[in-house]
Structure 1
């Protein structure tokens, strides 16, 4: 299952708060319709039936079933800010191996 770093969850919480997302809403990750092999991240008022729901903080993350398998062994983190970037950037990294 996709995991989130503390930095990523903080960024998700801040984005949702600034967007005045309704209670129960969250960040949704789904395959990109415009960029083959890419992912789209966006705010959603609720999960779509079949979404995997990851609740690690105040705002849940919804992962579309088709994206869920590809993200299964990854961690969502924030990337260093770039000049002129309007908000946080997210990056996916392999999950640390557990002993």
Structure 2
């Protein structure tokens, strides 16, 4: 299952707060409709039936089933800010091995 770092969850919480997302809403990750092999991240008022719901903080993350398979061994983190990307940017990294 996709995991989130503390930094990523904080960024998700802040984005949702600034967007005035309704209670129960969250960040949704799904295969991109415009970029083959890519992912779309967007705010959603609620999960779509079949979405995996990841609740690690105040705002849940909804992962579309097809994306869930691809993200199962990855961690969502935030990338360092750059002059071109002043707001939060997300990156995927392999999960640390479990002992």
TM-score, normalisation: structure 1? 0.98
**1:62 aligned counterpart, secondary structure:** strand
Matched, 1:37 2:59: no
Superposed counterparts of 1:71-90, under 5 Å: 71-90=71-90
Unaligned runs of 5+ in 1: none
Matched, 1:66 2:46: no
Aligned length: 99
Listed one character per residue, the Cα deviations across residues 43-81 of structure 1 (whole Å, up to 9, x for unaligned) are: 000000000000000000000001000000000000001
Q: Structure 2: how far apart are the matches of 1:82 and 1:30?
A: 25
Matched with 2:46 is 46
